[in-house]
Amino acid sequence: MASLLTARADVVTDAPARYAKQLVSHLGRRVEFTTDGDTSTATFGEATGAVVVGEGVLVLRAEAPDAESLARVQHVLGSHLERFGQRNELTVTWTTTQDTAPSL
């Protein structure tokens, strides 16, 4: 199995469900999200992005076969969330790893 690049950003917020709903609703105009429990997932070309509601945290995950696709998902999810959370100074900081199996 080909290795995949993965990235994760844990964004601390007192309203993770609200931000997830806003992000998925906004991006859902261009890409289709599927929601299972607290996780909403979408495909961006060959890459995948996920928005996960946690306790006091909104987790963004990205997975792609190449750096360019990974950066695209990171930019789309991260820049929109930061814009929506500007008033509350939300900051998205990604941690990137290389994985050998899909995790999303």
In this structure, what CATH number is given to the domain that contains residue 44?
A: 3.30.310.50
The pTM assigned to this predicted structure is 0.90
Token reading at 76: 């789309």
How many domains in the chain? 1
Using 50, 70 and 90 to split pLDDT, how confident is the model at 104? low
Tokens representing 31?
A: 């890409």
Burial of 29 (0-12, 13-18, 19+ CB in 10 A): exposed
**Domain assignment of residue 53, yes or no:** yes
Among candidates 61, 57, 55, 64, which has minimal Cα distance to 4? 64
Q: What per-residue confidence (pLDDT) applies to 100?
A: 54
In the prediction, which pLDDT does 103 show?
Answer: 53
How does pLDDT run across 12-22, given as a tens digit for each residue? 999 999 999 99
List, for residues 2-60, the tens digit of each pLDDT value.
689 999 999 999 999 999 999 999 999 999 999 999 999 999 999 999 999 999 999 99
> Which residue segment(s) compose the domain that 47 sits in?
4-93
